[in-house]
Amino acid sequence: MILLRFLRSLRTLSRVSFRHKGSFKNNDTTVETDEVVSDNNPWSPTLYQDKVYVRQGWKNVALPSKFRLSYEPLYESPGAKYVAILKRLTLSFAVLGVYGLKLLYELVQFDDIFALGVILGTWTPVAAVQYKTKDYVTRIFRLYDKEKPHTLENLVNDEQLIVEKLNATGGKTYNTLVTVLGNESLKLCTGEEDALKPYRTWQETVDGRKKFYYIMDNLGGMKMDRLWGIVEHNLGVDNGRYMEQKRDN
């Protein structure tokens, strides 16, 4: 009997710690190679037990087991797969550029300036794509506390989001935790449009460091309109989307 209980506990523990990775792919995808691997799988058979991981520094840290993701994303970028393909293509050309550099450098028929031109021509697109898309958001999930009733008051008063971004290779995503309530630093990006800046629409300050997110407007319906209203309100912009939260005295 004791052995049976021990085996059951191990089985339960393995289910809780297991991460069901899924492929993030839009419904209109026809190319199998454009899949993006993600830890956020709303169709996971053990979603209620799966742990949620967020990026802290260079590591992915698990949140307490009481948290789970929403069953569907609040926001899903329609261009995520194309950005992922663009990152992979530019990296592939960069690898070919290194090979071409080696060949031209070893051939006495060519001057070294040709090798330099090849490496600059193949690595400049990589730097441009990585810089412009480093804040690109693929999906946004709401974070639920399994220990609290899912009432409107609990969801709004302790609202946290899991913002999913693409990594440098475009083959995998990572999560960023964003707090909504009381986070006055979460607001629209300020300043004039600058073609040299990365794509970004939201910003926040965490531990004295600014974080940016590129989230497209007019996607996600009323749920995202509400978040946009909060972000705009924190900057002092009124586009008619902010709904003031009533608080009980």
pLDDT over threshold 60, residue 248: no
- Greater confidence (210 vs 242) lies with 210
Residue 140's Cβ-side half-sphere holds a number of Cα atoms within 13 Å equal to 24
What's the pLDDT at 26? 54
What's the pLDDT at 73? 92
What's the pLDDT at 191? 65
What's the pLDDT at 2? 46
What's the pLDDT at 133? 94
Give the pLDDT band of residue 31 (cuts 50, 70, 90): very low
Query: Where does 16-166 show beta strands of DSSP type E?
Result: 22-24, 36-38, 53-56, 59-62, 67-69, 75-76, 137-145, 160-166
What's the pLDDT at 193? 58
Neighbours of 86 (CB within 10 A): 16
pLDDT over threshold 70, residue 52: yes
Give how far Cα 120 sits from Cα of 84, 115, 116, 207, Å.
22, 9, 6, 37
Q: Residues 146-172, buried b or exposed e (16+ Cβ, 10 A)?
A: eeeeeeeeebeeebbbbbbbbeeebee
DSSP category for residue 196: T
What's the pLDDT at 192? 59
Q: Is the dihedral of CA 85, 170, 65, 150 positive or negative?
A: negative
Neighbours of 211 (CB within 10 A): 17
Composition of the chain by helix, strand, coil, percent to 5: 35, 25, 40
Q: Is the dihedral of CA 5, 6, 12, 16 positive or negative?
A: positive
Determine the average pLDDT of the residues in 153-164.
87
pLDDT over threshold 80, residue 1: no
% of the chain beyond a pLDDT of 70: 83
Q: What is the pTM of this model?
A: 0.81
Rounded to whole angstroms, the Cα distance separating 40 from 148 reads 22
Phi, psi of 56 (to 5 degrees): -130, 110
First-to-last alpha carbon distance for the chain, in angstroms, is: 54
Give the pLDDT band of residue 227 (cuts 50, 70, 90): very high
Q: Given the DSSP bridges, would you call strands 36-38 and 22-24 parallel, antiparallel or unpaired?
A: antiparallel
Determine the average pLDDT of the residues in 62-78.
90
Determine the average pLDDT of the residues in 164-173.
92
What's the pLDDT at 246? 58
Rounded to whole angstroms, the Cα distance separating 81 from 31 reads 10
Determine the average pLDDT of the residues in 41-50.
77
Rounded to whole angstroms, the Cα distance separating 242 from 177 reads 22
Lowest mean pLDDT among 106-115, 171-180, 226-235: 106-115
- Greater confidence (16 vs 100) lies with 100
Rounded to whole angstroms, the Cα distance separating 130 from 208 reads 24
The candidate with the shortest Cα–Cα distance to 137, out of 209, 240, 238, 219, is: 219
